[in-house]
Amino acid sequence: MHVADIAEVISNVPEEYAVALIRLLSEDVRSDVVAEIGPEERGKLLELLPAVEIAESVVNKMDSDDAADLIAELPLEKQSNVIKAIKNTEHAQDILDLLTYDEDSAGGLMAKELVKVKDHWNVSECVVELRKQAEEIEEVHTVYVVDEYEKLIGITSLKKLILSSPQTMIRDISKTDIISVKSDVDRKEVSRIMDKYDLVVLPVINEINQLLGRITIDDVVDVIVEEAEKDYQMLSGISEDVESSDTVWQLTRARFPWLLVGMIGGILGAKVIGIFDQDANPALMAFIPLIVAMGGNVGIQSSAIVVQGIANQTLSGSIAAKLMKEFGVGIVNGLLCGVILLTVNLAMDLSLDFSLAISISLVCVIIFAAIFGTWIPLAFHKIKIDPALATGPFITTANDIFGLFIYFYICKELVG
Amino acid sequence: MHVADIAEVISNVPEEYAVALIRLLSEDVRSDVVAEIGPEERGKLLELLPAVEIAESVVNKMDSDDAADLIAELPLEKQSNVIKAIKNTEHAQDILDLLTYDEDSAGGLMAKELVKVKDHWNVSECVVELRKQAEEIEEVHTVYVVDEYEKLIGITSLKKLILSSPQTMIRDISKTDIISVKSDVDRKEVSRIMDKYDLVVLPVINEINQLLGRITIDDVVDVIVEEAEKDYQMLSGISEDVESSDTVWQLTRARFPWLLVGMIGGILGAKVIGIFDQDANPALMAFIPLIVAMGGNVGIQSSAIVVQGIANQTLSGSIAAKLMKEFGVGIVNGLLCGVILLTVNLAMDLSLDFSLAISISLVCVIIFAAIFGTWIPLAFHKIKIDPALATGPFITTANDIFGLFIYFYICKELVG
């Protein structure tokens, strides 16, 4: 059974059994299995294991990045007990080092395990070194070449080592135009770089170019999936990361905040209607759902396109140019919808005046929603607020209120 | 400059210059650069290049998977002209082979280039073979071990080849529990497998276990990003893959269909209001935006959680159990919102009867929307319709109509 499958089984049994299963696993796979268990289930398991056991039978054989992630999840006191109990001092030092980085940065993603050789060595010296270093590294994707000051000056591959004669100098088979990141680069930027350059592994360096660690693609895939899920949840008005298997209470807590925003919007909407309802045509009321639905839909479409453009960096041109384009899209979609609604309303024997007024205000609501839905996430992005916040209920709620105002104002002017 | 950067520059200049730039590139990087250009820009460029030039200076040095993708984008006649003009018959055969697979399957993602050795060889024989095969393979992640019938029976790594003595038998340093996929497996499933098992490369086999090719993680990252974008666009009511840089016409076409759905919903909503408005309290009209907004928001939240659960396979338990849980979440959120609205309305001097009626109907609308928003994507999934279709405007529109009906019906019963 693959470690990921064992981890899946362990995640799905009661905690006492899970702990027993973990203790039954052979030492070779135990740390890999624990590294694969989701943070939530793992937290519960680790509570049941004493610090010494975590250090000796789990963390000891774990890659430094996974070990640091696991330890960071523990309560503070237990963290230091686990680290103290790690017998391999170098490993403990690596973990302590990694714990200092922000978890959303390149430093927080990297592992310390890598194969490093000196540039003045030849291939056979490298193979000797490789034998020493490679034991604890499962997958050697790249061999890093450093100078005497530990500065990263090249990379080479195992393929080149195999195909070159033992006396070949490493510097003659290494590539010097290396793509690397500094440790404080944001993880989203890391994932963009690895995706753009099709990298399987990316070296992390410090300010003076010294090699600190490496980031592997599997960790970046997790980042991509998490970021996509976060944006998806924002768009759907969910404020915390939840799954359908979470408790009713967790689900409620994640969903209530945006419902509250929607409700405040609804109460303000009632106020807007209150301003107009004394002297408005009662028949106008029937089209309120249509007006708010169209404003909301257009606003969500516009904001989603902007947020996706920001996320995959395809957004180009000035803000003014983008607003002008949205104005164009708004006019075309608005006119299409307006004409259809006019036809339907006339076919239903509504008066021409009244039907025209409703359609004209619909066109205005759609144009406004398109521009507003484009502008808000751009403005958020400019002032360093996550633009994804401006996608879901935020934009629909704002458009509901403005849309109602536009609708009643125009209809009142046109048909009294 | 890295090929991805060159590709970016070429994508952003007018086509005539782009073609000139491509012709200026050295042969070593030309095919890599063209492989990196997005399909849309690339299509325009390839129109300007004659078939023979495409074959000789682009496709010839390209990996088989990229070459097949590129050729599949050409018009049919040009496809066969390009393939005929490829001088390397084996490469042409590989490409023809790959073109037979569905582009959304494992076969459509795989490349033919891989390093393959026989199980009865020793390490030094493998290195000789590697020297032959590895020239055209940039990154050798894994060495595949096959038997005399080309059946995949093991994998080994370059690390093991380097660290073993030349006389070691390959079968003694190869792993036999291999994770592989059949060529007809869906690409979403491929990405789930590679993500779950943290794989950088995945072998593709046929029905009788013969090795056909390999899928590398960079292609799967593209799949993950595309699938996430598709779901995001569905949730925001966009029916085609668009970017903010597309033309007004493309953007309009992608957005209009769901606006039409929303408009039909709005017209039906007007009908529902029409049924009740003769004898309903006119003050009820002011709360229409609140009712439809809350129904819409709750419905989107519920459906998004289901769709995400289906996408990352964390959905467990029966449909009935999930609906019961949503009932619970609906009750809690509904009561919270209902009590807040009651307090606000009483504070605004609305009558107790009236305020109670509005709050009670709000609770019912929220509970209905939660259950409906959960049930629809589950039902779609069951009958093999993409559940993401049931997230955006579809669910809000349906909830608007049902919500209005529930609201007016309950309020009429309670306050006449």
Cβ distance of B237 and A300 shorter than 8 Å: yes
Tokens of A190: 């890391």
Q: Which chain A residues contact residue B242 at CB under 8 A? A: 305
- Prediction ipTM score: 0.84
Under a CB-based contact definition with an 8 Å cutoff, are residues B352 and B271 in contact?
Answer: no
pLDDT computed for residue A143 by the predictor: 93
- Best B227, B281, B290 member to test A by mutation, with max A CBs in 10 Å, is B290
Write down the pLDDT at residue A131: 85
B140 in Cβ contact with B178 (< 8 Å): no
Say yes or no for a CB contact (<8 Å) between A297 and B237: yes
Q: Does domain A3-100 have CATH number 1.25.60.10?
A: yes
Residue B154, pLDDT score: 95
Q: Which residues of A touch B249 (CB under 8 A)?
A: 332
**Residue range B282-303, pLDDT digits in tens:** 788 899 999 999 999 999 999 9
How big is the CA angle at A69 (ends A66 and A73), to the nearest 5 degrees? Answer: 140
- CB atoms B195 and A225 under 8 Å: yes
pLDDT of res. B44: 86
Give the CA dihedral A292, A294, A295, A296, nearest 10 degrees.
80
Q: Which is nearest to A370 in space by CA: A344, A410, A412, A336?
A: A336
Residue ranges for chain A with pLDDT beneath 50 = none
Chain B residues close to A245, C-beta within 8 Å: 309, 314-317
Give the DSSP letter of residue B1: -
pLDDT digits (tens, 9 = 90+) for B29-67: 888 899 888 888 888 888 888 999 889 888 988 889 999
Find residue B202's DSSP bridge partners.
B215
User: What's the CATH architecture for B115-217?
Assistant: Roll (3.10)
A78 contact B CB<8A? no
Distance from CA of B94 to the nearest CA of A (A): 23
Determine the Cα–Cα distance for residues B139 and A324; give it in Å rounded to an integer. Answer: 46
pLDDT of residue B284: 86
pLDDT tens column, B213-222: 999 998 899 8
Subunit contact A298:B259, Cβ cutoff 8 A: yes
Report pLDDT for A371: 94
pLDDT, residue A392, reads 85
CB A405 within 8 A of CB A360: no
A165 touches chain B (CB under 8 A): no
Chain A contact set for B333 (CB, 8 A): 252, 255-256, 259
Q: Which of B134, B231, B266 sits opposite A232 (nearest CB)?
A: B231
Residue A362 distance to chain B (closest CA, Å): 10
Mapping DSSP to helix (H, G, I), strand (E, B) and coil, where does residue B121 land? coil
pLDDT at position A279: 66
Exposed (0-12), middle (13-18) or buried (19+): which is B137, by Cβ within 10 Å?
Answer: middle
> Does residue B132 sit at the A interface (CB-CB below 8 Å)?
no
Size of interface A-B (CB pairs under 8 A): 345
Residue A209 φ/ψ region, left for φ over 0, alpha for ψ in the -120 to 50 degree band, beta for the rest:
left
CB proximity B134 to A under 8 Å: yes
> Within the 3-42 window of chain A, which residues sit less than 8 Å (CB to CB) from chain B?
4
Which of A243, A316, A332 comes nearest B245 by C-beta? A316
In angstroms, the CA B6 to CA B25 distance is 10
**Residue indicated by tokens 């929220």:** B366
Which of A6-10, A133-137, B100-104, B335-339 has the lowest average pLDDT? A133-137
The per-residue pLDDT for B416 is: 67
Return the percent helix, strand and coil in chain A, to nearest 5. 70, 10, 25
Strands A181-182 and A201-205: parallel
Q: Which residue of B has its CA nearest to A291?
A: B266
Averaged pLDDT of chain B: 90
CA distance A31 to A202: 24
- How far apart are alpha carbons A119 and A175 in whole angstroms? 11
Question: So where are chain A's domains?
Answer: 3-100, 115-226, 248-415
Residues of chain B contacting residue A317, judged by C-beta atoms under 8 Å apart: 245
CB-based contact (8 Å) between B255 and chain A?
yes
CA distance A74 to A266: 43
Q: Please answer yes or no on whether B391 and A344 come within 8 Å at the CB atom.
A: no
As a CATH number, domain B248-415 is: 1.10.357.20
Provide the pLDDT confidence category of residue B208 given band limits of 50, 70 and 90: very high
Q: Do B285 and A290 touch (CB under 8 A)?
A: no
In terms of Cα–Cα distance, which of A186, A399, A228 is closest to A302?
Answer: A399
Judged by phi (left if over 0) then psi (alpha if -120 to 50, else beta), residue B144 lies in: beta
Q: Domain A115-226 maps to which CATH number in 3.30.70.100, 1.10.10.60, 3.10.580.10, 3.40.50.720?
A: 3.10.580.10
Domains B3-100 and B115-217 share a fold: no
Do B158 and A158 lie within an 8 Å CB cutoff? Answer: yes
Interface of A with B in 307-326 (CB under 8 A): 308-309, 312, 314-317, 322, 325
| Cβ–Cβ below 8 Å for A229 and B270 | no
Which pairs count as long-range contacts for B69-75, CB under 8 Å and 24+ apart, including other chains?
B69/B39, B69/B103, B70/B34, B70/B35, B70/B42, B70/B46, B71/B95, B71/B99, B72/B99, B72/B103, B73/B39, B73/B42, B73/B43, B73/B46, B74/B46
Q: Which of B263, B340, B404 to mutate to test the interface with A (most CBs of A within 10 A)?
A: B263
Min CA distance, B87 vs chain A (Å)?
A: 28
What the block records as the tokens of A153 is 């000056």
Residues in B touching A197 (Cβ below 8 Å): 2, 4
Beta strands in A78-222 (DSSP E): 115-118, 143-146, 152-156, 181-182, 201-205, 211-216
Residue of B nearest to A391 (CA): B236
Using the Cβ of B231 and the Cβ atoms of chain A, whether some distance falls under 8 Å is answered with: yes
- Cβ atoms of B91 and B113 within 8 Å: the answer is no
CB contact under 8 A, A273 and B286: yes
User: Is a pLDDT exceeding 90 seen at residue B145?
Assistant: yes
Closest-CA residue to B239 (of B11, B78, B391)? B391
